[in-house]
Structure 1
Amino acid sequence: MRRLLPLGLSVTLTACNLAPAYERPTAPVPPAWPNGSAYSAALPTEKAGLPWTALVGDERLRTIIDRALINNRDLRVTLANVLAARAQYRIQRAAQMPTVTAEANATLTRRNDQRQDSYSADIGFSAFEIDLFGRLRNLSESALQSYFASQEGSRAARIALVAETASAYATLAADQQLLTVARDTLSSAERTLALTRSLNGVGLSGKLDVHQAETIVEQARSDVAASVTQAAQDRNALDLLAGAPVEEALLPLSLSALISTTTQVPAGISSDVLLQRPDVLQAEHRLQAANANIGAARAAMFPKISLTSAIGVASSALSSLFTGGAFSWTAAPSASLPIFGGGIKGNVEYSKAQQQAALASYENAIQSAFREVADALARAGTIGEQQQAQRALVASNENAYALSQQRYRAGIDPFLSTLVNQRSLYSARRSAIATDLELLLNRISLYRAIGSDF
Structure 2
Amino acid sequence: MHKRMLGRAGVALLACQLCACNLAPTYERPDAPVPATFPPTAADGRAAPSIPWQTYFHDPVLRDLIGQSLAYNRDLAGAAARIEQARAQFRIQRSQRLPGLDASASGQRQRGPLSPADNAPRVTLESYGVQVGIPSYELDFWGRVANLSEVARRQYLATVEARNTAELSLVANVAASYYAVRASQEGIVLAERSLTSRNETLELAQLRMDAGLTSSIDFNQSYALVTQTELQLAQLRRTQGQALQLLQFLVGTPLPATLPAGLPLDPDAQLTRLDPGLPSALLEARPDVRLAEHQLRAANANIGVARALYFPIIALTGAGGYASTELSGLVSDSNRVWSFGAGAVLPLLDWGARRARVDAANAGRDEREVAYQSTVQNAFREVASGLVAAEQNDLQIAAQVRAVEVQQALVVTAHDRYDVGLTPYLEVLDAERNHFAAEQNLLQLRAAALQDAVNLYAALGGGQDLRERPVD
Fold equivalence (TM over 0.5) = yes
DSSP-derived class of the 1:411 partner: coil
Question: Following the alignment from structure 1 to structure 2, what is the Cα–Cα distance between the partners of residues 254 and 184?
Answer: 21
* Paired letter, 1:218: T
Does the alignment pair 1:149 with 2:158?
A: yes
CA 1:177 to 1:254, structure 2 compared with 1: closer, same or farther past 3 Å? farther
Bigger mean CA deviation after superposition, 372-381 or 256-265:
256-265
Question: Following the alignment from structure 1 to structure 2, what is the Cα–Cα distance between the partners of residues 325 and 190?
Answer: 110
In structure 2, the residue matched to 1:92 is: 93
Question: Following the alignment from structure 1 to structure 2, what is the Cα–Cα distance between the partners of residues 258 and 280?
Answer: 28
Does the alignment pair 1:272 with 2:280?
A: yes
In structure 2, the residue matched to 1:101 is: 102
In structure 1, the residue matched to 2:57 is: 56
* Paired letter, 1:412: L
In structure 2, the residue matched to 1:414 is: 424
Does the alignment pair 1:389 with 2:399?
A: yes
Question: Of the candidates 134, 143, 158, which is equivalent to residue 143 of structure 2?
Answer: 134
Does the alignment pair 1:195 with 2:204?
A: yes
In structure 2, the residue matched to 1:367 is: 377
TM superposition shift of 1:108: 2.1
TM superposition shift of 1:121: 1.5
| Structure 1 segment 419-438 matched on structure 2, within 5 A | 419-438=429-448
TM superposition shift of 1:143: 0.8
Question: Following the alignment from structure 2 to structure 1, what is the Cα–Cα distance between the partners of residues 139 and 108?
Answer: 35
CA 1:304 to 1:145, structure 2 compared with 1: closer, same or farther past 3 Å? same
Question: Following the alignment from structure 1 to structure 2, what is the Cα–Cα distance between the partners of residues 250 and 325?
Answer: 83
5+ residue gaps, structure 1: none
Does the alignment pair 1:180 with 2:189?
A: yes
In structure 2, the residue matched to 1:22 is: 27
Question: Following the alignment from structure 2 to structure 1, what is the Cα–Cα distance between the partners of residues 317 and 38?
Answer: 60
* Paired letter, 1:365: T
In structure 1, the residue matched to 2:412 is: 402
In structure 2, the residue matched to 1:303 is: 312
In structure 1, the residue matched to 2:77 is: 76
DSSP-derived class of the 2:132 partner: strand
In structure 2, the residue matched to 1:120 is: 129
TM superposition shift of 1:451: 0.5
TM superposition shift of 1:133: 1.0
Q: Does the 8 Å contact 2:144/2:308 carry over to 1?
A: yes
Bigger mean CA deviation after superposition, 247-256 or 365-374:
247-256
Does the alignment pair 1:222 with 2:231?
A: yes
TM superposition shift of 1:81: 1.0
Q: Does the 8 Å contact 2:266/2:450 carry over to 1?
A: no
DSSP-derived class of the 2:340 partner: strand
* Paired letter, 1:386: Q
Q: Does the 8 Å contact 1:239/1:245 carry over to 2?
A: yes
5+ residue gaps, structure 2: 1-7, 113-120, 468-472
Q: Does the 8 Å contact 1:255/1:437 carry over to 2?
A: no
Bigger mean CA deviation after superposition, 110-119 or 155-164:
110-119
In structure 1, the residue matched to 2:449 is: 439
In structure 1, the residue matched to 2:37 is: 32
Bigger mean CA deviation after superposition, 380-389 or 273-282:
380-389
Question: Following the alignment from structure 2 to structure 1, what is the Cα–Cα distance between the partners of residues 419 and 215?
Answer: 14
CA 1:148 to 1:61, structure 2 compared with 1: closer, same or farther past 3 Å? same
TM superposition shift of 1:232: 2.1
Question: Following the alignment from structure 2 to structure 1, what is the Cα–Cα distance between the partners of residues 98 and 84?
Answer: 22
TM superposition shift of 1:405: 2.4
TM superposition shift of 1:442: 2.4
Question: Following the alignment from structure 1 to structure 2, what is the Cα–Cα distance between the partners of residues 284 and 403?
Answer: 63
Aligned residues: 445
DSSP-derived class of the 1:320 partner: coil
In structure 2, the residue matched to 1:334 is: 343
Question: Following the alignment from structure 2 to structure 1, what is the Cα–Cα distance between the partners of residues 257 and 266?
Answer: 17
Question: Following the alignment from structure 1 to structure 2, what is the Cα–Cα distance between the partners of residues 215 and 349?
Answer: 72
Task: Describe the superposition over 1:65-94 as per-residue Cα deviations: whole angstroms up to 9, x where unpaired.
Answer: 222222211111111111111111011111
TM-score by length of structure 2 reads 0.88
Task: Describe the superposition over 1:42-76 as per-residue Cα deviations: whole angstroms up to 9, x where unpaired.
Answer: 36x96454221221122222222222222211111
CA 1:232 to 1:82, structure 2 compared with 1: closer, same or farther past 3 Å? same
TM-score by length of structure 1 reads 0.91
* Paired letter, 2:385: D
Question: Following the alignment from structure 1 to structure 2, what is the Cα–Cα distance between the partners of residues 435 and 77?
Answer: 35
Bigger mean CA deviation after superposition, 387-396 or 258-267:
258-267
TM superposition shift of 1:179: 0.8
DSSP-derived class of the 1:116 partner: strand
DSSP-derived class of the 2:103 partner: strand
Task: Describe the superposition over 1:222-253 as per-residue Cα deviations: whole angstroms up to 9, x where unpaired.
Answer: 12122222222222222222221234785343
Two-structure CA RMSD over aligned residues (Å):
2.6
Q: Does the 8 Å contact 1:259/1:440 carry over to 2?
A: no
Bigger mean CA deviation after superposition, 221-230 or 344-353:
221-230
CA 1:242 to 1:117, structure 2 compared with 1: closer, same or farther past 3 Å? same
Using the aligned pairs only, state the percent identity. Answer: 35
Question: Following the alignment from structure 2 to structure 1, what is the Cα–Cα distance between the partners of residues 89 and 17?
Answer: 29
* Paired letter, 2:221: Q
Q: Does the 8 Å contact 2:404/2:439 carry over to 1?
A: yes
Question: Following the alignment from structure 1 to structure 2, what is the Cα–Cα distance between the partners of residues 239 and 181?
Answer: 24
Question: Following the alignment from structure 1 to structure 2, what is the Cα–Cα distance between the partners of residues 230 and 163?
Answer: 19
TM superposition shift of 1:199: 2.1
Q: Does the 8 Å contact 1:58/1:258 carry over to 2?
A: no
TM superposition shift of 1:122: 2.1
